Structure 1
Amino acid sequence: MSEDKEAQEDELLALTSIYDEDEFHRAESAQGGEIQLLLELPPDFKVVVKGEREMEYNICFLPHLVLNFELPADYPSTSSPVFTLSSKWMTRTQMSALCRRLDELWEENQGCVILFTWIQLLKEEALNFLGIQSPLEVIRAGSKTGGERRKINPAATAVAQCGSPSENSEENKIEMKKKKSDLNLSSTSHLDPRAVLLMDPRADLLPQLLDFDEAQRQRVFDGKVFCCGICFVEKLGSNCLCFKECQHVYCKACMTEYFQIQIRDGNVQCLNCPEPKCTSLATPLQVKQLVDEELFARYDRLLLQSSLDLMADVVYCPRQHCGTAVMVEPDTTMGICSACQYAFCTLCKLGYHGLSNCKIPADELRNLRDEYLSASNEGKKFMEQRFGKRVIQKAVEESFSRDWLNENCKSCPRCGTNIQKADGCNKMTCTSCRQYFCWLCQGLLSKVNPYSHYNNPNSPCYSQLFQGVDLEEEDAFWSDEED
């Protein structure tokens, strides 16, 4: 084996041992491979979106800068590796500058293996070399500003590298001017064919940046160990859930049980962080990952319904077999269900009755009375306009009458007439149909011998003819009559 071949094998073996499979992939058919590089970003690195509205995002990871290479037979003794640089977010101008910088490094270290040096330069120094700082400006697709996504000023980069003119010697000033001239010349030259843009410049870059950043954050999270705040067991992040807003972490087992209970109880708006006084909510995607399809379908349906309930122009079809959400036009009380074509009043939920006042079902009189009596002046006016003032007054009167009848009267078991017991024994006579009945059990009594109901040991009212009657008051009443 030649010295070049041996050096290549040693270098590729070293790269394989340093980087995992996601970062370095060795080619099978040739002496080469592909390295996906995550550039080291400074803390609090931001991306600013230029467009109709300016938006700012915190970014921890930018998409990979990909270095593809192939080693010639006479590398490293004579020839440099054949390579390409590709990226989704860098411009070809920026990648061309990096290609030239890699060529310079090879010229400085010709005869030595160079791949690791290239990799370290790209990972650690690429941003500074290109003058890319936070915030990184991104032009959204369709923006009128057009042009490349991120432009650098070569002259400004030269100034940053050489320092301020007032702080440099005369020799440095001359060198700075030379660098400016060289950079300006290179910016007008042809782009390096080894610089490859991985996506259409007209495509929207922002979703690519945000999706990649989120995926990488999740990958880092999955590899860490966290202590669950509920069961206090340490688990890998891949077995935990992190709330986006507050960053509190709990294990998936505890959160699955918590979500299941809340969804079954219909509390879809309460899937918040278990930390006391924390208001962070779980995202629908997090819920979907932890519960089964049937439970998530219930969660999704209830969440949609709760959202629609907050919309003033949305009501539901009152038919029990339908319940479809119905959009209501402003300043109208008529709703028409798109599913069953039922036209109904949006106030009383009965069939649409035009300009007539809403009718009140008998079983809702008490609720209407309580609502009216406890309402504010504005609320009372609204109810009077909705149902009519006379209807409201009648409802209040009838409701009070119904309450009094329920408390002081019982219905005849034969004809249903309300009967009040003023005094006397528990054998009652209906004033309407003249039927005898028992006040205690409301059972029908024999017309021939109604008292047998109280004399029969098998009767539920045995010996209770005067049950609940104050005999002393009765005696006093009859004694007053005799006097």
Structure 2
Amino acid sequence: MAEDTTDDEREEELSSIKAIYPDELIVDPHDPFSASIDILVAPATPLAVVFPHPVDGAPPTTLPPSPTSQLGAPPSVQPKRDIHNLSYLPPLRLQLTLPDGYPSAAAPKFRLSTSPPWIPEKLLQKLQKEGVGLWEEYGREQVLFSYITHLQDAAERGFDLGEDRVLELSLDMKIGLLDYDIKTKKKVFDQGTYDCGVCLEPKKGSSCYQLPRCSHVFCVQCLQDFYNDCISSGDVNGVKCLSPGCGQEKEIPGVKRKKKPDRLLTPSELLQIPLETAMVQRYVEMKRKKKLESDKSTIYCPRTWCQGAARSKKYPKITDLSQITESDDEASDDETAVEEKANPGKDAKPKGAPETDRLAICEDCNYAFCRVCMQGWHGEFVRCWPRDASELTEEERASMNYILAHTSPCPTCSVPCQKSHGCNHMSCFQCKTHFCYLCSAWLNADNPYEHFNQEGRPCYQRLWELEEGDDGNGNVHFNGIRGAEAAAQRAAQAAVDIQNQEIDAAEDQEIPPPAPEPPAPLVPAPVFAQPNGRQAANQVPRENVRRNPRDPGQERAAHGGGGRYPLMEANQMGLQRFLQLVRDDEEDEWDSDELEDEDDEFAIPER
């Protein structure tokens, strides 16, 4: 009778555990008193797992470097460690057996394991002994539920692995543990319900995406619509978290903190949302182009039909998205900037050293040219000089003149900015600096309109000048750098007008014209980067100056169109007649004196 009572107690306890964990508890079909259950390991605080970096020629190690061996050693020679914070780890499997005589006469048998074996064996043995200890503590009564609860609490604490909650594991477990963590996160997320931060509608996790850095949740449709629109319109800085306060630190009274740039999404995150590969490729190219344009050391191809950037080790051209899943991350850019700041002389050349690396190769057309004189590559031992403004092409001069006349430079990054409409409070598209369009002065982002409301300032009550845009700004008075440019242009134009007036007066009086005087000195103005990457000073080319703008007949005569100098027109007509005789094979009848016949009606009388 006692044996039947024991069997009843074991069956009763296992049926109760089965009712509590219907999907987790699996009873052995060959032994009704043996079962197994997987316990989820999800620490309340993600567990830091350390994997050693592989070393060439040596097997990977799982032990951290000893403090004595690192004493006095530079940080660069210390072994690196790869740390990952895991929220889910492979479950702890509990295999239990209720022997005959349980619970009063015999203790239950427990066996713990994990796959892969990420929990140390000593810790597993300790947990198994704690199960037997609970059976003794409970007065040799039924203890399965209490022991399972005890293991769940230990798993939530991360099994108290180390004081710093850091677990050292071998490198061969890395792929399995990281893959399990990612899949489990996705599974748990898909089963939940979340409110989209854009459309504010509750949706299942399978229709949403959670940003890994800030954990903000948005529906996939809203993210795709917004990011596709940003990339299509060229707004690279808009590809970030859509939460208004994301990334903003709490303000502390009396403490000023430098504003950090917004973290942009990486291409790998855009592919996981998912966005189309072609759209992500465009995002990568535009992001790289923005970095090239903001770097003053970028050199562009001198060919007008190409103007591609020269090959750069700092910003390599990438055609495969798999190559930029790690290197294009904003975090890696920040780490590179910190490293360059910590080691400023790592790649710097000594002061006064000659420029030896003059060869530049366009990454688009493979044209090799000199980065100093912008001519075809002539070798390292040929002396050359940078180009001046007189060597600019007509297209470059037109671009320079337009930039000087219709843009104001950003005071931070010097990027020319043009206003199409609105007030004179500007925000640079490149670096987000707030500045005044009239004088290029920095404006306080918290109160940018204070600049226009202070009496005595040149921009007082001039907030809405040029409201319709920068075109037609001849009557607007600019200050600061923009004012210096306008003054230089006015001075140059005044000198040209005076010279033209003197030439016209001399021609009307039929006396030799006086020698032209040099133009008035120009006010120093900043140098702007041209679209083709070269720089030019603020000068007005002499080729653009018309001798006499008020005499259209002179300009027509210069092109053989008649006017005050008909000899050029006569010569051109005679030349056309000669060409017609050549076509008709009658050039023998041509008289070369026709062009110099003083009796001709087009001849100029002697004065």
TM interval, shorter chain, is: 0.5 to 0.7
Q: Which runs of 5+ in 2 are unaligned?
A: 51-63, 66-77, 247-261, 314-346, 350-354, 405-483, 489-522, 572-607
Of 379, 395, 403 in structure 2, the residue corresponding to residue 363 of structure 1 is 395
Structure 2 counterparts to residues 255-294 of structure 1, below 5 A: 255-276=223-244, 278=246, 279-289=262-272, 290-294=274-278
Of 278, 281, 285 in structure 2, the residue corresponding to residue 301 of structure 1 is 285
2: distance between equivalents of 1:404 and 1:357?
33
- 1:96 corresponds to which residue? 125
Contact 1:227–1:250 (Cα < 8 Å) also in 2: yes
Structure 2 counterparts to residues 367-406 of structure 1, below 5 A: 367-369=399-401, 374=485, 379=526, 396-398=540-542, 400-401=544-545
Contact 1:60–1:217 (Cα < 8 Å) also in 2: no
Contact 1:72–1:81 (Cα < 8 Å) also in 2: yes
The SS at the match of 1:66 is strand
Contact 1:40–1:123 (Cα < 8 Å) also in 2: no
**CA deviation after TM superposition for structure 1 residue 361, in Å:** 1.8
- 1:71 corresponds to which residue? 97
Structure 2 counterparts to residues 126-165 of structure 1, below 5 A: 135-138=164-167, 149=168
Aligned-residue RMSD, C-alpha: 5.4
Structure 2 counterparts to residues 46-445 of structure 1, below 5 A: 47=48, 61=87, 63-71=89-97, 74=100, 76=102, 78=106, 80-86=108-114, 89-108=118-137, 113-125=142-154, 135-138=164-167, 149=168, 201-203=169-171, 218-276=186-244, 278=246, 279-289=262-272, 290-310=274-294, 315=299, 323=308, 326-327=311-312, 331=355, 332-337=357-362, 341-346=366-371, 351-352=376-377, 355-358=384-387, 359-369=391-401, 374=485, 379=526, 396-398=540-542, 400-401=544-545, 417=559, 432-433=568-569
Contact 1:231–1:254 (Cα < 8 Å) also in 2: yes
**How has the CA–CA distance of structure 1 residues 128 and 251 changed in structure 2, closer, same or farther, with 3 Å as cutoff?**
closer
Q: Which runs of 5+ in 1 are unaligned?
A: 139-148, 150-200, 423-428, 436-483
1: distance between equivalents of 2:234 and 2:363?
26
**CA deviation after TM superposition for structure 1 residue 401, in Å:** 1.4
% same residue: 21
2: distance between equivalents of 1:245 and 1:291?
18
The SS at the match of 1:295 is helix
Which shows bigger deviation, 218-227 or 289-298? 218-227
1: distance between equivalents of 2:235 and 2:179?
30
Matched letter for residue 293 of structure 1: T
**CA deviation after TM superposition for structure 1 residue 272, in Å:** 1.9
2: distance between equivalents of 1:7 and 1:434?
127
Deviations 1:74-113 (A, max 9, x none): 4845462352333755333222221221222244558755
Contact 1:288–1:296 (Cα < 8 Å) also in 2: yes
**How has the CA–CA distance of structure 1 residues 91 and 322 changed in structure 2, closer, same or farther, with 3 Å as cutoff?**
farther
**How has the CA–CA distance of structure 1 residues 298 and 27 changed in structure 2, closer, same or farther, with 3 Å as cutoff?**
farther
The SS at the match of 2:122 is helix
**How has the CA–CA distance of structure 1 residues 387 and 282 changed in structure 2, closer, same or farther, with 3 Å as cutoff?**
closer
Contact 1:410–1:418 (Cα < 8 Å) also in 2: no
- 1:165 corresponds to which residue? none
- Kindly indicate which of the two structures has a greater share of residues assigned to helix: 1
Deviations 1:209-264 (A, max 9, x none): 77766665555444433322322211123322334444443221111111111222
**CA deviation after TM superposition for structure 1 residue 364, in Å:** 1.0
Matched letter for residue 394 of structure 2: A
**How has the CA–CA distance of structure 1 residues 403 and 11 changed in structure 2, closer, same or farther, with 3 Å as cutoff?**
farther
**CA deviation after TM superposition for structure 1 residue 345, in Å:** 3.6
Contact 1:225–1:236 (Cα < 8 Å) also in 2: yes
The SS at the match of 1:433 is helix
Q: TM-score normalised to the size of structure 2?
A: 0.46
The SS at the match of 1:273 is coil
1: distance between equivalents of 2:561 and 2:245?
57
Matched letter for residue 84 of structure 1: L
**How has the CA–CA distance of structure 1 residues 225 and 370 changed in structure 2, closer, same or farther, with 3 Å as cutoff?**
same
Matched letter for residue 236 of structure 2: V
2: distance between equivalents of 1:47 and 1:255?
31
Contact 2:369–2:376 (Cα < 8 Å) also in 1: yes
**How has the CA–CA distance of structure 1 residues 378 and 4 changed in structure 2, closer, same or farther, with 3 Å as cutoff?**
farther
Matched letter for residue 93 of structure 2: L
Give the number of equivalent residue pairs: 359
Matched letter for residue 266 of structure 1: G
Q: TM-score normalised to the size of structure 1?
A: 0.55
1: distance between equivalents of 2:132 and 2:6?
19
- 1:141 corresponds to which residue? none
The SS at the match of 2:241 is coil
